[in-house]
Amino acid sequence: MPSLTFQTNTSSTSGGPAVSFLAQPIGNPSDDRRVIVGVMAGFAAAVTTRAVSAITANGINLLEAVQNNTGGSNGVTVGLFMGNVPAGTTADIVVTFAGAVSRTGIGIWTCVGVSSDVAKATGSHMATDPAVVTLTPIFADGFAIAVAIENNGCTYTWTNATEQFDTTVDGAGHSGAQNIAPGTSLTITADYSVTDARCGMVAAAWGSTPMGGGNDSQMLVMP
């Protein structure tokens, strides 16, 4: 079965189109270790959207699972990205955006035992409170991760996901949550303590393909 570990969350207010987070913990090396990074970014100017154009961990490109963003004054970008990073116990995470951002936070998870970097199911909810995402179908033996941002100071109440961090970064609220072995369908809710349209949440689920190719775990019985 897949194994998921939350590692850390951190933030930067340096701005610019590329933001670096150096020497972040990613756990024990493993040939099939995947690094999952949740990105939460906001910008103050009235500009077009600031999508993540690339993200690397120790120079390895991470695959986008899901991202969404809003433009205009105080817009936000939020996304989840995964990639196989087998070596090292720390990683330099570099997030490149389509343009300059004001503040950026990341949450880092690692996992082993998943069958693909491609998420089984993804979803997003932007601009209204609460944020609700339903993931279906998903692997019963897998896991789901969600990250959210509110470009205003707030805290979060999660439903059907266990909160891993809830922080304020230069006036913006960032949070991430997870669900282990969520079943074959899962609805995750992030309730913001501040009602503000400058917000967004994304979620994704991964897992392993068992023998027979179904969604549920199977047991091999030897004769």
Which residue range forms the structural domain that includes residue 139? 3-206
Taking the mean position of all CA atoms in its chain, how far away is CA 100? 21
Higher pLDDT, residue 115 or 176 = 176
Domain-embedded: residue 43: yes
Residue 190 confidence (pLDDT) above 60: yes
Domain-embedded: residue 147: yes
Domain-embedded: residue 213: no
User: Domain tally for the chain?
Assistant: 1
Domain-embedded: residue 223: no
Task: Name which of 72-81, 117-126, 174-183 the model is least confident about.
Answer: 72-81
Taking residues 96-123, what's their average pLDDT?
Answer: 94
For 34-73, what is each residue's pLDDT tens digit?
999 999 998 876 567 789 999 999 999 999 999 999 866 6
CB burial string 4-38: b at 16+ within 10 A, e below: bbbbebbbbeeeeeebebeebebbeebeebbbbbb
Domain-embedded: residue 212: no
Domain-embedded: residue 215: no
Domain-embedded: residue 175: yes
Strands across the sheet with 186-192, in order?
A: 131-135, 186-192, 156-159
Q: What percent of the chain lies above the pLDDT cut of 70?
A: 91
Domain-embedded: residue 219: no
